[in-house]
Amino acid sequence: MKTYRIATIPGDGIGKEVIPAGQRVMQAIADEGGLRFEFQNFDWGGDYYRQHGVMMPADGLDALRDQDAILFGSAGDPDIADHITLWGLRLKICQGFDQYANVRPTRILPGIDAPLKRCTPEQLNWVIVRENSEGEYSGVGGRVHQGHPIEAATDVSIMTRAGVERILHYAFKLAQSRPRKLLTVITKSNAQRHAMVMWDEIALQVSREFPDVTWDKELVDAATARMVNRPASLDTIVATNLHADILSDLAAALAGSLGIAPTGNIDPERRYPSMFEPIHGSAFDIMGQGLANPVGTFWSVVMLLEHLGETDAAARLMQAIERVTSTPALHTRDLGGQARTDDVTDAVCAQLAQGRQEKAA
Ligand code: ATP
């Protein structure tokens, strides 16, 4: 039987609720037979920082290196500056393991009351590919003369040909694998006339390797309006680190809730483990109350299973999730319901068990 080593990092806030829920669902999948998970939990995050002065140990990446995948909750703490929590944990793993493709599927799941009144669920089915290793989040920059009137600060956006080529290659390949074979390359190459123009040029070059993919370009500001007004004109979307970060929160909101949206930080070359996480943050306003929607984590588990090649298990879990979202009594507060994290988790596990019984019958 295939055994997968899975690192779980709940992190902060509701990460501590949704990641154990995700682990329960993974165990329910293992109970179906055919595969096993060996979980190793890492207590890194804000509490770890209070004790040790760092979000994760200096040799933390070594502890993760041999895992088959990572399930991550959230990094963020009201008492610790956001740039410390983000750079000290999540980005350290993403950059340390060169997880350069951040993949964010967005769909309106059955039973979800999404905000766009003219958009049917069939018309919103996107995958956003976010460049995840450089660009605006390169970490290059500095501050001088802090606190003085002459203080200056820079954040330098570094875009390399190698970095842009590999993300565009990944995006074209992903678009090619989807039924509509449609890609939109989003930049701001009218105002940013160096790196963004290079993106456009490289997109044209890479497109020649994918003659069966239809593609177009869009400026990021126009892209926001297009997502709202013409959602069906989009399918696969690729954008820079910052642009796709913003667009995918909009996408999640248009699909019904931030609590549903999943993401994968992928190393396509599989040199290192990839990391899967809900796109929401720590949500301190609801933490510890059992109100967190765990669906974003469950959908992230679907992506994790697909990445491991366990496509049947992934499809079974997605079906179980969709059956649960179809039931309004199982909607959490973010979806206008009253269900609790445990109710949703129990229901998904029960759906998996029911599917197993139906198969056996
Ligand atoms: P961070 O600073 O870590 O990004 P945040 O609280 O600023 O955290 P989010 O965690 O993304 O940002 O939350 C934004 C809003 O969405 C909050 O009001 C939160 O309660 C709600 N929310 C986010 N995720 C969920 C979820 N899984 N279930 C229910 N509500 C959620």
Helix (H) or strand (E) holding 7: strand 2-11
CB 12 within 8 A of CB 46: yes
Ligand 1 pocket, 334 CB below 6 A?
yes
Nearest-CA residue for ligand 1 atom 4 is: 281
Cα radius of gyration rounded to whole Å, the chain: 20
Q: Which two tokens stand for residue 181?
A: 């074979």
pLDDT of amino acid 67 = 98
Q: Which of 280, 295, 325 most suits a substitution to test ligand 1, by most atoms within 8 Å of the C-beta?
A: 280
Nearest-CA residue for ligand 1 atom 13 is: 283
Phi, psi of 339 (to 5 degrees): -70, 155
Q: Which two tokens stand for residue 161?
A: 């040909």
Alpha carbon separation from 143 to 81, 154, 159, 291 (Å, rounded): 16, 7, 21, 40
What is the position in ligand 1's atom list of the atom closest to the CA of 18? 27
Amino acid at 352: L
What is the position in ligand 1's atom list of the atom closest to the CA of 75? 3
CA of 154 to the centre of ligand 1 (A): 29
Phi, psi of 149 (to 5 degrees): -60, -25
CA of 206 to the centre of ligand 1 (A): 37
Ligand 1 pocket, 74 CB below 6 A?
yes
What is the position in ligand 1's atom list of the atom closest to the CA of 279? 11
Q: What is the pLDDT along the chain (361 residues), one digit of tens a residue?
A: 899 999 999 999 999 999 999 999 999 999 988 899 999 999 999 999 999 999 999 999 999 999 999 999 999 998 999 889 888 999 999 999 999 999 999 999 999 999 999 899 999 999 999 999 999 999 899 999 999 999 999 999 999 999 999 999 999 999 999 999 999 999 999 999 999 999 999 999 999 999 999 999 999 999 999 999 999 999 999 999 999 999 999 999 999 989 999 999 999 999 999 999 999 999 999 999 999 999 999 999 999 999 999 999 999 999 999 999 999 999 999 999 999 999 999 999 999 998 777 777 7
Q: Which of 246, 248, 258 most suits a substitution to test ligand 1, by most atoms within 8 Å of the C-beta?
A: 258
CB 103 within 8 A of CB 264: yes
Ligand 1 pocket, 280 CB below 6 A?
yes
pLDDT of amino acid 203 = 98
Ligand 1 pocket, 45 CB below 6 A?
no
CA of 115 to the centre of ligand 1 (A): 18
Nearest-CA residue for ligand 1 atom 19 is: 283
CA of 283 to the centre of ligand 1 (A): 4
pLDDT of amino acid 361 = 72
CB 156 within 8 A of CB 281: no
pLDDT of amino acid 335 = 94
CA of 19 to the centre of ligand 1 (A): 15
pLDDT of amino acid 359 = 74
Secondary structure of residue 291 in the 3-state scheme = coil
CA of 216 to the centre of ligand 1 (A): 33
What is the position in ligand 1's atom list of the atom closest to the CA of 285? 20
CA of 336 to the centre of ligand 1 (A): 15
What is the position in ligand 1's atom list of the atom closest to the CA of 85? 3
Nearest-CA residue for ligand 1 atom 12 is: 281
- Determine the angle formed by the axes of helices 295-307 and 311-325, rounding to 10 degrees: 160
pLDDT of amino acid 87 = 87
d(CA 357, CA 240): 45
CA of 257 to the centre of ligand 1 (A): 10
Ligand 1 pocket, 286 CB below 6 A?
yes
CA of 174 to the centre of ligand 1 (A): 29
d(CA 129, CA 155): 23
Angle at 179 between CA 248 and CA 295, to 5 degrees: 40
